[in-house]
Amino acid sequence: MMLINGEVVDQLAATDRGLHYGDGLFETIAVTDGQPRLWSQHMARLSEGCRALGIPMVDCERLQHEATSLVKGAPRGVLKIIITRGSGGRGYRVPECIQATRLLALHPWPDYPASHYEQGVTLRMCKTRLGINPALAGIKHLNRLEQVLARNEWGSREADEGVMLDPHGNVIEGTMSNLFIIEEERLITPNLTQCGINGIMRENVLHLAAQHQISTRIETLSVERLKMASACFVTNSIIGLWPVRQLDDITYQQNKIVQALIQTLSEQHLITMAS
């Protein structure tokens, strides 16, 4: 089911700038028990993205109303919200009179196996690099060609997620997730001021760690440090947190800090394992 500008339709104007230029933003939100999870955090990032791109922020109350009606009664699902600058303009220049487009769609919940949480997942290094652009770093804009290229470097049986580097060879994130390592009982996640998406689950994990008196650092992270780390895990709003078991030829041991984070995120219903 899909809502476009409040109407139950599944077709968008071919002149939409989201299609022509990727001129817009999106949010991928977990739905449990008929409710979108972490709504206000998703809205805060969307609003930050609108500010960065100069798209007038959509009316959050109206968006929430539409989202609630779409996900009502869904025990689990994935709500995708796309906001584009709207329709119009053959060239890049933004026409003076333009109205943002809002598209909301409810997708099935991906039932990842419980073993992803219990034994951990397999990562591989991607060849495709992320480009540097501080003006677009952090926000969830629609231009995702780097992720599309990276994700198509491997088949689903070979690995569960890929690690992406910046042009200098620094580790930034996964193709669909943020990445953390544990080094001397400290939680470290890459700096996202030059590229990468500032994940909602990353924010939650950093916050949770601080509450548990686990020291956290946001730093430049080399591949060598990633490979020497005591543990590694990836996060996003749908998976919650996946511990990493294997990265190419490196095997990570189970780690008590990672186990404690999984336990707390499960208690907070931010991890939903397949039943």
Ligand X SMILES: Cc1ncc(COP(=O)(O)O)c(C=O)c1O
- Please list the active-site residues: 28, 140, 173
Contacts (CB under 6 A) with ligand X, residues 232-271: 235-237
Beta strands in 23-100 (DSSP E): 24-32, 35-36, 76-84
Rounded Cα distance between 24 and 5, Å, is 15
Q: Which residue lies nearer to ligand X by CB, 142 or 231?
A: 142
Tell me how many residues contact ligand X (CB under 6 A).
Answer: 14
Under 8 Å between Cβ of 153 and 125? no
Q: Which residue lies nearer to ligand X by CB, 87 or 237?
A: 237
Long-range contacts of 221-225 (CB under 8 A, 24+ apart): 221/170, 221/171, 221/179, 221/181, 221/188, 221/189, 221/190, 222/169, 222/170, 222/171, 223/125, 223/165, 223/169, 223/171, 225/171, 225/181, 225/183, 225/188
Q: How far is the CB of 93 from ligand X (least distance, A)?
A: 29
Contacts of 59 (CB under 8 A, 6+ apart): none
Under 8 Å between Cβ of 247 and 226? yes
Residue with token string 């992803």: 116
Contact code string over 1-30 relative to ligand X, x by CB under 6 A: ---------------------------x--
Under 8 Å between Cβ of 81 and 29? yes
Q: Which residue lies nearer to ligand X by CB, 121 or 176?
A: 176
Under 8 Å between Cβ of 36 and 71? yes
Q: How far is the CB of 275 from ligand X (least distance, A)?
A: 22
Rounded Cα distance between 252 and 230, Å, is 7
161 binds ligand X (CB under 6 A): no
Q: How far is the CB of 192 from ligand X (least distance, A)?
A: 9
Contact code string over 170-209 relative to ligand X, x by CB under 6 A: ---x--xxx------------------x-xxxx-------
Q: How far is the CB of 223 from ligand X (least distance, A)?
A: 18
Q: What are phi and psi of 55, to 5 degrees?
A: -100, 130
Q: Which residue lies nearer to ligand X by CB, 237 or 264?
A: 237
Q: Which residue lies nearer to ligand X by CB, 28 or 222?
A: 28
Q: How far is the CB of 28 from ligand X (least distance, A)?
A: 5
Residues that bind ligand X (CB under 6 A): 28, 147, 173, 176-178, 197, 199-202, 235-237
